[in-house]
Chains A and B, each alone.
Chain A
Amino acid sequence: MDDIGDPLKMTDISARADDLSPRTPRPARGRRRRIVPAVIAVGAAAAIVVLVINLLNGSLFFYDASEAVARRAELGTDRFTLLGSPIEGTITKGFDGDETVVAFSVAFDGVDVDVVHFGDPPDLFKAGVPVVLDGAWVHEPAAVDGFVGNETDGWHFASDRMRVKHDNDYKNKSEYDSRVDKANKEGRIVATSNASGG
């Protein structure tokens, strides 16, 4: 670490006080130099306060599908955020005028909810990958041509904002399989292994 400088030779600035009989004020650095950092510091502090208040107010707070059903009376027609996993075979696309509409059922803890989402879904939207939806309960069955929901209690969740809550499981199945095949051919894997990646 000789490269960084010699810490022992660095004198503490407070220890230099003995040099300074008549202490001279530092040269003026200009108004701008004094104001800009102060404005940034105050602005950052204010922004932090706003962000913390916003977080504490829970502007993003999911109810999973089973909680959302259990709290239906309490939630009424208030907007809330719903978490659930789209069920294979239920995803149906349609149009409301020019706007894309997607109807599907989501599941969480064995409870299903029918959803009608207005707008284009994210690229990663597909069955089995959980979604987070902003919207509200509507006391009508979901009416999208061709959609057969899993839920038959006469309610659906109308959503206008969808985000995909992707998990942390990264895999490339074909690459994994080809590596397993190669290893098998080379006789490196003796025991039979059918486990897929991830």
Chain B
Amino acid sequence: MTTSMTDNAREVSPPATGSRTTFWLGVVSLVGVVALILLSFFVAPEDDDQHDAVRMIFIHVPMAMLTYVAFSLTAIGSVLWLWKRSVWWDTVAHGAAEVGVMFCGLTLFTGSIWGRPTWGTYWDWGDVRLVTTMILFLIMVGYLAVRSLDGDTATLATRAAVIGIIGAVNMPIVNRSVTWWASRRTLHQKSSLTDGKLEGLTLFTMMFGLVVFSIVMVWMLIHRFRISWLERQVSEGDLSEALIARRAEAAVVSSEGGSK
């Protein structure tokens, strides 16, 4: 790093993970969420069967789709860590897993809340779509738990990467379960989007929700990436301090040894 860059950085860097990009992403996210609420509750029509309960679709489906996106990023990052030892991708994988766990948890939550007025139950332990989604959630919670264990960072990253890939293997099962077991083991409807069963403002509002929450997710991923990066800097800083201390200690010992 050159001196001029260092000086420049010192002058302008606020002690935070924000930047001009995240500032504007944040502004767009906030405006987008407000617009989404207005569209979802006051513009999109009610459904003939579900009435207003259908308005859960505008938050549930975007959350579910972004869960797949986040965990796919974790899987890609995990492969590139295992294959190329790419710290950058390992950091992306970790951040995406954390954001993905939040989205996945909210997918389960919003689905469950939506299930009560439509199916007549919050949950069914035998339902393939519901339970495979819960398993995906637990796998990725396990991923985060492994990452926060005490131990060598690289070893933990490797173990977590394996879990991240297992989670990705489960994703097609979650996604296709509604087709594979439609008439046997799930209450969950098939995809409304790929079957083209959404129309007009309902479809528009759902896609709008997807765009808004995608922007929210990008904002989160950038911040989360920078947090991991700072954590690395801090732990490396701690290590150099410890090294300096250890060397100073060693120097004292050797000089004491020499004086004897």
Task: Please report A residues at the B interface, Cβ cutoff 8 Å.
Answer: 3-5, 7, 9-14, 16, 19-20, 22, 24, 26-27, 29, 33-34, 37-38, 40-41, 44-45, 47-48, 51-52, 54-55, 58-62, 64, 83, 121-126, 129, 132, 161-173, 175-176, 179, 197-198
Contact = CB atoms under 8 A, between A and B. Distances in A.
A24 B242 contact: yes
A45 B142 contact: yes
Contacts of A11: 87
B85 A4 contact: no
A167 B189 contact: yes
B185 A60 contact: yes
B150 A34 contact: yes
Contact of A48 (B20, B124, B139, B154): B139
A123 B52 CA distance: 12
A16 B87 CA distance: 13
23 contacts: A3-B19, A5-B226, A13-B232, A14-B85, A22-B243, A26-B239, A38-B145, A41-B146, A44-B142, A48-B138, A48-B142, A54-B126, A61-B126, A83-B183, A124-B117, A163-B120, A163-B187, A165-B187, A166-B50, A168-B190, A170-B192, A171-B199, A179-B200
A55 B131 contact: yes
Contact of B238 (A19, A26, A64, A171): A26
A60 B124 contact: yes
Q: What 3 A-B pairs are tightest by C-beta distance, nearest first?
A: A60-B126, A122-B120, A59-B126
B37 interface: no
Contacts of B145: 37-38, 40-41, 44
Nearest to A126: B49
Contact of A29 (B127, B132, B150, B242): B150
Nearest to A167: B189
A163 B239 contact: no
B131 A54 contact: yes
A122 B126 contact: no
B121 interface: yes
B142 A41 contact: yes
A27 to B, nearest CB: 7
Given A4-B225, A168-B195, A55 B187 contact: no
Contacts of A129: 49
A20 B247 CA distance: 10
Interface-centre pick from B20, B145, B195 (highest chain A CB count, 10 A) = B145
A16 B236 contact: yes
Contacts of A7: 86, 88
Interface residues of B, number: 75
B199 A13 contact: no
B184 interface: yes
Given A58-B126, A170-B198, A124 B50 contact: yes
Given A38-B145, A55-B126, A169-B197, A4 B118 contact: no
A14 B200 CA distance: 54
Given A121-B120, A170-B50, A170-B202, 17 more contacts: A3-B21, A5-B225, A13-B87, A24-B239, A24-B245, A26-B238, A26-B239, A37-B144, A40-B141, A41-B149, A55-B126, A58-B126, A59-B125, A62-B183, A164-B119, A166-B50, A171-B48
A176 B19 CA distance: 45
A125 B139 contact: no
A40 B126 CA distance: 24
B154 A14 contact: yes
B213 to A, nearest CB: 20
A176 to B, nearest CB: 7
B26 to A, nearest CB: 13
Contacts of A125: 120
Contact of B49 (A48, A51, A166): A166
B184 to A, nearest CB: 6
B153 interface: yes
B154 to A, nearest CB: 6
Contacts of B21: 3
